[in-house]
Amino acid sequence: MSLPDAHAVGAAAAAFLASFVEFLEALTVVLAVGATRGWRNAGTGAAAAICVLAVVLAAIGPRAALPAAPLRLIVGVLTLMFGLRWLRKSVLRAAGLIPLHDAASSYERARAKLGAGTVGGWDGVALTAAFQVVMMEGIEVVLIVAAVGAGGGALLPASWGAGAALLTVLLLGVALHRPITRVPDNALKCGVGVMLCAFGMFWAGEAIGTQWPGGAWALPLLSVMWAASALAMIQAVRA
Amino acid sequence: MRNFGALARKLASLFVADTALAMFVPAWIAAAWLCARLLPDVPPGVVTFMLACGPVAALWFSVRHAAHAMRSTRHD
């Protein structure tokens, strides 16, 4: 596998997994908004946020694709820090030290918070709630797409990965109309953390002139190293 | 304004797992770069190994510290 291919496949996979997890969390609240305040409000708020995020991604995309080494170093360090945050949280969750994310209780909490509204008409509270949650989760998606795509010039595959995740979550939401609870949320987050750390380390290393053994094949090797380390940490601190 | 405040807080928190970890990673990568530049006799494999192991060790200390703090809080 050549270097661009390894980057493209890895970037698309990382963007898909990360976006899938983030959009699922947003879907839980959007469904609660729809069920309590009407589907038109929920759909409009969410669609408006997706449009804003697409504009943001299109705006930062060409700048993020610059091949300059300093940019690659900055992207690498930020991606590594971003991945460490995901990995740390998922290790602590898997070890039973912080509670796992529960989509069903998030859904009930959101419903209780929103209360009964005017179903049928336009509702500012519902629109804002749907817009805000999609924006908050979506900003993370935009950063991940920019991060995993920028270092190796794989912004397009990463965007396709995020788009596929959005479509999958939309279809699931339309089909089920209830929060999706049977997804191994923490395992997915751990996987994303592993991939982000591997990408970040690889790019930061390349930017400072490190010769990775195996070239592009160092990416899967770094992923295995991070995954093994995360599993060892979970075992070591398990409550 | 409250919504923008929440967005700004979310953005700021995205890169900081814990403060020590967030400060260590850039410093460690800068150290690896300096090591490669200032000490040309150091074999490249040593720099690669240094680069790969530092963040893993930092994550381990961060996780262990958080686990210890959480257990202490529970016992209290």
pLDDT digits (tens, 9 = 90+) for A74-130: 888 888 988 898 899 999 999 988 888 777 787 888 778 777 655 567 777 888 888
List chain B residues with CB under 8 Å of A233: 59-60, 63
Asked if B70 lies within 8 A of A209 by C-beta distance, the reply is: no
pTM: 0.80
Amino acid at A213: P
Asked if A132 lies within 8 A of B10 by C-beta distance, the reply is: no
What's the pLDDT score for residue A146? 81
Asked if A77 lies within 8 A of B25 by C-beta distance, the reply is: yes
Compute the count of residue pairs across chains A and B with CB atoms less than 8 Å apart. Answer: 107
List chain B residues with CB under 8 Å of A132: 3, 6-7
How many angstroms separate the CA atoms of A218 and A191, rounded?
A: 17
Query: How is residue A209 annotated by DSSP?
Result: T
Looking at beta carbons, which pairs linking B50-56 to residues 24 or more positions away fall under 8 Å?
A: B51/A201, B51/A204, B51/A205, B51/A208, B51/A210, B52/A201, B52/A222, B52/A225, B54/B24, B54/B25, B54/B28, B54/B29, B55/A80, B55/A84, B55/A197, B55/A201, B55/B24, B55/B25, B55/B28, B56/A225, B56/A226, B56/A229
Contact between A180 and A172 (Cβ < 8 Å): yes
Contact between A21 and A192 (Cβ < 8 Å): yes
**How many angstroms away from the CA of A73 is the closest CA of chain B?**
9
**Which of A28, A59, A30, A35 has the alpha carbon at shortest distance from A47?**
A30
**How many angstroms away from the CA of B13 is the closest CA of chain A?**
9
Asked if A92 lies within 8 A of B67 by C-beta distance, the reply is: yes
The answer, yes or no, to whether residue B5 has pLDDT greater than 90, is no
